């Protein structure tokens, strides 16, 4: 997911620079990539495991909202 987001936003930035003569600072691109990954992780239903909770915590996401209690 992270690699996909990086590739997408870098390609989008390349196109903006080539065709629209518009460039964003690298810090802005990093923020966009991190937000995109966080939002995607927040929307997933995940299995309740310690490793999953640790990864979500690393991204600043409250784990209890993302766990699927059905399984």
pLDDT digits (tens, 9 = 90+) for 25-57: 999 999 999 889 888 877 666 667 777 777 777
Helix (H) or strand (E) holding 71: none
Please, where are the H alpha helices in the chain?
2-15, 26-42, 50-58
CA 18/CA 53 separation, integer angstroms: 41
- Over 90: is that where the pLDDT of 20 sits? yes
Share of the chain above pLDDT 90, in %: 44
- Give residue for tokens 């518009």: 22
CA 27/CA 67 separation, integer angstroms: 31
- Over 60: is that where the pLDDT of 69 sits? no
Q: Is the pTM of this model over 0.75?
A: no
Instruction: Measure Cα distances from 2 to 9, 18, 20, 58 in Å.
Output: 11, 24, 26, 14
Specify the pLDDT at position 66.
54
């Amino acid at each position: 997911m992270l690699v996909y987001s990086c590739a997408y936003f870098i390609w989008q930035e390349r196109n903006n620079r080539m065709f629209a003569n518009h460039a964003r600072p690298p810090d802005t691109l990093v923020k966009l990539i991190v937000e995109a990954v966080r939002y995607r992780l927040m929307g997933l239903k995940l299995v309740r495991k310690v490793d999953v909770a640790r990864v979500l915590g690393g991204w600043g996401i409250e784990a209890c909202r993302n766990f699927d209690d059905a399984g």
